[in-house]
Amino acid sequence: MPTLQDQQAPIDAEIVNAMVANTPETWKAIRLVIERQPEKKAVGQFVHELSSPEGHPPVGPDASLFEATFKLDTLLQAHGGLLHRAEYLAKRIGTQWSFESKFQYEKNAL
């Protein structure tokens, strides 16, 4: 049976691919922050913010990013986690992108 990490890895890749698709070609990095307000518990109830660590004006997420974060939230809630905040930072290295992510969960959710 696949682990949570095995199940989450393709969703993380989908999120990063959607971030990159929203990124102007001149950008070398993009940050996504998704955050749930305390009273919002339903799957996918996040505020999404795409910004540039380089100081470019923010861009708006498209439907593919919303769909990917919905999948992430569905997976985590199925495993007993209520995601409060997630941050993804994707950086262009040559023609490839790498990323790192951080997650914060609601107290007593895990």
Q: Report the CATH number at residue 16.
A: 3.30.500
Note the residue count of the chain.
Answer: 110
In a domain, 110, yes or no: no
Q: Which long-range contacts (CB under 8 A, 24 or more apart) does 23-28 make?
A: 23/50, 23/59, 23/90, 24/56, 24/59, 26/56, 27/52, 27/54, 27/56, 27/92, 28/54, 28/91, 28/92
Pick from 71, 62, 70: nearest CA to 30: 62
In a domain, 40, yes or no: yes
Looking at the structure of the chain, the number of domains it has is: 1
pTM above 0.85, yes or no: yes
Express each pLDDT in 30-88 by its tens digit: 999 999 987 778 888 899 999 999 999 988 888 999 999 999 999 999 988 889 999 99
User: Which residue range forms the structural domain that includes residue 83?
Assistant: 4-105
